[in-house]
Amino acid sequence: MSRIIYYVASSLDGFIADENGGVAWLDDFSGQSDFGYAEFVAGVDALLMGRRTYEQVRGFGEWPYAGKAVRVWTRRPLEDAPELVSAVAGPAGQVARGLAVEGFRRVWLVGGAELAEALRREGLIDEWIVSVIPRSLGAGVPLFGGVETGLAVSEVRSFPGPLLQLHMTSTR
């Protein structure tokens, strides 16, 4: 089975996006450091994301994941997808198991919330790397849904900015 790692930023009050699904609130923190991003991305074989996350990333301009295999969880075909990007459909657990069949060992679960929640409910997220941003959004897309999740903290990193990054493993 592939090791699925949910690498995500969260506001201090536990939201990964604002009420409209936007992440512009993260812009205030970009450029201060890469917060371990380059090291993390170099260590993954593939990326998995939902359709809304894919569309949001496409809207940012140049495709930031060139050279990495990307699977987009969607029921619709992808128009003009970048190289190495393909659509995958079906139950989230089946999609996750399919990544292992393709030979991917370490997979970055980019988001979004619906896909992450589906994988979390099935106990398929192995690692959580949550960068806690010192900002309260008050409302938005929550990091966690309504299912209890056991996590064990394996590392806490501090970055200039300030930013805390929690590395956790699922205790299932």
DSSP string, 16-35: EE-TTS--GGGGGGTTS--T
Instruction: Mark 66-79 as b/e (b = at least 16 C-beta within 10 Å).
Output: eebbbbbbbeeebe
Q: Which of 15, 1, 17 is nearest to 123 (CA)?
A: 1
Q: Which is more confidently placed, 112 or 49?
A: 49
The kind and range of the H/E element at 58 are: helix 51-58
User: What are the structure tokens assigned to 37, written together?
Assistant: 């991003």
20-46 confidence digits (pLDDT tens): 998 988 887 776 678 889 999 999 999
Q: Residue 156: is it exposed, middle or buried by C-beta count within 10 angstroms (0-12/13-18/19+)?
A: exposed
User: Superfamily for 3-170?
Assistant: Dihydrofolate Reductase, subunit A (3.40.430.10)
| Average pLDDT value for residue range 102-119 | 95
The domain segmentation of the chain, as residue ranges, is 3-170
